[in-house]
């Protein structure tokens, strides 16, 4: 795998990031460790987890899997979502962030994380409180860099402005949803990140597996697949509109012409989009991981790439289309 600059920082990360949401849930520890080893041996150096994944078990498995190789890896985790029954076991308050990093470090078996990300916007905590706490963690050496996930553009811009004004450590990355089916970040978030020099780490680049080609329109979602699991039903099926199925058809067609799998084609498209640093890939087993890694090391024919971009086109709306028209 190629290495890419991580935004405006001085580090480099692999063009794919290994996501560990399946660890301790869809993948047992032995399989999870085997996937970490396979990913690192393939040239990957970027691993992403979160405290909420499998209620902390993912971090524990990840930490054990990285034993002896910790300093060779850019390790990222997250804080924000509920980790206990108490009223302060959720959010981005100073209390929850400070308790969160200590618990994550303990589970990961390390004394620092390279990237500490807030997992989602918290409307109940003043942004200054969260940013000041994250700045303290960097100063204490427990965190090297900070990032955010699932922010709106105005929220990210506000955070960057406050950090600049206070001379605090700024967010250096954004982890948003992005795929051929979900391209909404192209309105404001992606241009903002490009302008500000933030690394962009797309999650769900295969739209929850829809772009793998294993689901068929008007066919029931099979149990045992991500789409067929009851707990994923809401977050999965909102993607399944008529436009989405047209995108799937285009991906399957391009895959046949390119001699690749639909998943590899969809991942490769995300990999080569302007401003994208490292898409996050998840897998339940080694076969899925190997297939995803197969999205690297080759270039999609430009005309085939254009056909995917056109097939997945969406209305950006006002004022974005007005601005583009005015600048034409």
Question: Which residues in 123-153 are b (16+ Cβ under 10 Å) and which e?
Answer: eebebeebbbbbbbbeeeebbbbbbbbbbeb
Tally of domains within the chain: 1
The tokens for 108 are 């990961």
- Secondary structure percentages of the chain, helix, strand, coil, to 5: 45, 15, 40
- The reply to whether 235 falls in a domain is no
Omega before residue 84 within 30° of 0, cis: no
Q: How far is 119 from 229, CA to CA, in rounded Å? A: 23
Judging by beta carbons within 10 Å of its beta carbon (0-12, 13-18, 19+), is residue 26 exposed, middle or buried?
A: middle
The answer to whether residue 43 scores a pLDDT higher than 90 is yes
- The reply to whether 251 falls in a domain is no
Mean pLDDT over 112-141 rounds to 98
- The reply to whether 244 falls in a domain is no
- The reply to whether 328 falls in a domain is no
Instruction: Determine the structural domain holding residue 85 and report its residue range.
Output: 3-213+262-300
pLDDT at 30: 97
pLDDT at 230: 46
Strand spans (E) along 44-197: 46-48, 74-79, 113-118, 143-149, 171-175
pLDDT at 325: 85
pLDDT tens-digit series, residues 67-92: 999 999 999 999 999 999 999 999 99
Q: Active site includes 53?
A: yes
Confidence band of 236 (pLDDT split at 50, 70, 90):
low
Mean pLDDT over 90-100 rounds to 98
Strand spans (E) along 42-198: 46-48, 74-79, 113-118, 143-149, 171-175
Q: Contact at 8 Å (CB) between 244 and 272?
A: no
Mean pLDDT over 162-167 rounds to 98
Mean pLDDT over 202-220 rounds to 84
Q: CATH number for the domain including 172? A: 3.20.20.100
Of 53, 116, 145, 178, which one is the catalytic site residue? 53
Mean pLDDT over 188-203 rounds to 98
The answer to whether residue 234 scores a pLDDT higher than 50 is no
Judging by beta carbons within 10 Å of its beta carbon (0-12, 13-18, 19+), is residue 195 exposed, middle or buried?
A: exposed
The answer to whether residue 204 scores a pLDDT higher than 60 is yes
- The reply to whether 236 falls in a domain is no
Whole-prediction pTM value?
Answer: 0.93
Confidence band of 222 (pLDDT split at 50, 70, 90):
low
Q: How far is 292 from 280, CA to CA, in rounded Å? A: 10
- The reply to whether 230 falls in a domain is no
Query: Cα–chain-centroid distance for residue 159?
Result: 19
- The reply to whether 179 falls in a domain is yes
- The reply to whether 38 falls in a domain is yes
Name every residue whose Cβ is closer than 8 Å to that of residue 21 and which is 6 or more positions away in sequence: 49, 50, 53, 54, 58, 282
Confidence band of 228 (pLDDT split at 50, 70, 90):
very low
């Amino acid at each position: 795998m190629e290495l890419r600059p991580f935004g405006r920082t001085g580090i480099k990360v692999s063009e794919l990031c290994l996501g560990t949401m399946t660890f301790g849930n869809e993948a047992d520890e032995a399989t999870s460790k085997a996937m970490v080893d396979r990913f690192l041996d393939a040239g990957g150096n970027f691993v992403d987890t979160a405290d909420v994944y499998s209620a902390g078990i993912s971090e524990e498995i990840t930490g054990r899997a990285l034993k002896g190789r910790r300093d060779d890896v850019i390790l990222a985790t997250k804080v924000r979502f509920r980790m206990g029954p108490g009223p302060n076991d959720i959010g981005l308050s100073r209390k929850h962030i400070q308790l969160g990093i200590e618990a994550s470090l303990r589970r990961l078996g390390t004394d620092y994380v390279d990237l500490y990300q807030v997992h989602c916007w918290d409307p109940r905590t003043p942004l200054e409180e969260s940013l000041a706490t994250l700045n303290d963690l960097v100063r204490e050496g427990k965190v090297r860099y900070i990032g955010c996930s699932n922010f709106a553009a105005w929220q990210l811009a506000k955070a960057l402005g406050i950090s600049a004004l206070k001379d605090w450590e700024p967010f250096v990355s954004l982890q948003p949803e992005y795929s051929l089916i979900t391209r909404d970040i192209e309105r404001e978030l992606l241009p903002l990140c490009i302008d500000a020099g933030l690394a962009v780490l797309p999650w769900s680049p295969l739209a929850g597996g829809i772009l793998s080609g294993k689901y068929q329109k008007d066919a029931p979602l099979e149990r045992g697949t991500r789409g067929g699991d009851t707990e994923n039903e809401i977050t999965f099926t909102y993607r399944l509109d008529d436009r989405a199925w047209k995108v799937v058809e285009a991906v399957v067609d391009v895959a046949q012409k390119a001699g690749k799998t639909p998943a590899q084609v969809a991942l490769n498209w995300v990999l080569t989009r302007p401003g994208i640093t490292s898409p996050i890939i998840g897998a339940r087993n080694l076969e899925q991981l190997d297939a995803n890694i197969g999205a690297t090391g080759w270039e999609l024919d430009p005309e085939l790439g254009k056909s995917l971009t056109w097939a997945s086109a969406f209305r950006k709306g006002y004022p974005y289309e007005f601005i583009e028209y005015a600048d034409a």
